[in-house]
Amino acid sequence: MDKWEFFRDYVRERMNRDKFSISVSSVVELADCQVKSLLMSSNNPYGGAPNKAAILGTLCHNMADLHYSDNDDIDSLWGRAYEKTVEDFREYEDSASIRMLRSNRDWFEIKSKMRYLKAFVPWAEKEGVPVYTEKKLQVGYVTGRVDRLDLMPNGLGYLVTDYKFSTRSPKGRILERYKLQLAGYAYLTRQNGIDVRKARIVTFLNASHREYVFDGDELEDYVEDFEGLVEMAHEVYQTLLCGGKPEFGGLDCRTCWRKDICKILRG
C-alpha cells in the first residue's frame, strides 16, 4: 500500500457519505503546497503534534462570537468558549488537540482572556452589533466560518471581516495569504446571495488592533484568484482519487507545523 492510500480511502469514504469538505484555509494553502493543504483537510494516520497557536486562535474566536450573545461574566463566557472549542475539534475528529486543550487548560484560559479583554472588547464595543458572527457557509465542498458580517451604511452592500488574534502585525506573504483567505469568505458569502463589497482583516495585537481594508478591483482580483484555487482543488483531489499524488511545496517548509509528517510521506 503506498503512503497515500489512507488519504484516498479517507476522501472516498467522506465523499460517499456526502461529508467531504475542504476549508477555505486549505484551499488557500494549495497556492503554496498541495501536501500541506491535504494534511490540513484530512484526518491523517501519521499523527503529529497539534498546533497550539491554532487552538488558542479558535478559543479567542469563540469568545468573540459569544461576546454578542452572552451577558454573563468573563469566567462563564470563557467556560462556554472552552466547551465550544472542544466541540469544534471533536467535529474534525482531532483528539490530539482536545488532549492538548485539557492538559494546558490554565495556559489557554490566561492567554485567551488576555487577548479577548485587552484588544477585542474595546474594539467590539465601538463597532456595534453585526448581522452575524462565526457563520458556517458551504459552496460545493468548500466550507468556511465567516467571522463577521456587517451591513454598510446607506445600503452600500455588506462588509465581511476576518479576525486574527496575534502578537505580530502581518506583512508580506502572510498578509497576502490573509487577504486570499478573506477573499474566500467573500466568495462563500456572495455565493450565498449576499452582496459583499468590502473586506476587512482586523488583527488584535496585545492591547491594540489594526485594520486592513480592501475593496473594488483589489477585492475582485483576490476573489478571482481564490476561484482559480477552487478549480485547482478539484484537480488535486481527482488526481489523488485516480491513484496520483499531490505535489510537495513550498515556501514555508521551515516553519511548517506538518513537517514531521511530511518527512514520513517523502521517505
Please report, as ranges, the residues that interact with ligand SF4 according to CB under 6 A: 33, 35-36, 248-250, 252-253, 256, 258-259, 262
Min. distance of Cβ 116 from ligand SF4 in angstroms?
30
Residues 54 and 97: their CA atoms lie apart, in Å, by: 9
| Nearer residue to ligand SF4 within complex by CB, 154 or 255 | 255
Torsion angle in degrees (nearest 10) through CA of 75, 79, 85, 87 = -170
Min. distance of Cβ 162 from ligand SF4 in angstroms?
22
**Contact status, residue 158 vs residue 192, Cβ threshold 8 Å:** no
| Nearer residue to ligand SF4 within complex by CB, 31 or 159 | 31
**Contact status, residue 246 vs residue 38, Cβ threshold 8 Å:** yes
Residues 187 and 28: their CA atoms lie apart, in Å, by: 13
Min. distance of Cβ 25 from ligand SF4 in angstroms?
14
| Nearer residue to ligand SF4 within complex by CB, 107 or 248 | 248
| Nearer residue to ligand SF4 within complex by CB, 11 or 186 | 11
Min. distance of Cβ 173 from ligand SF4 in angstroms?
13
| Nearer residue to ligand SF4 within complex by CB, 74 or 264 | 264
Residues 143 and 223: their CA atoms lie apart, in Å, by: 15
Residue 180 CB contacts under 8 Å (≥ 6 apart), including other chains: 28, 31, 222, 225, 226, 229
**Contact status, residue 117 vs residue 64, Cβ threshold 8 Å:** no
| Nearer residue to ligand SF4 within complex by CB, 193 or 267 | 267
Min. distance of Cβ 220 from ligand SF4 in angstroms?
29
3-state secondary structure 142-178: EEEEEEEEEECHHHCCEEEEEEEEECCCCCHHHHHHH
Residue 127's identity, in one-letter code, is: E
Min. distance of Cβ 194 from ligand SF4 in angstroms?
34
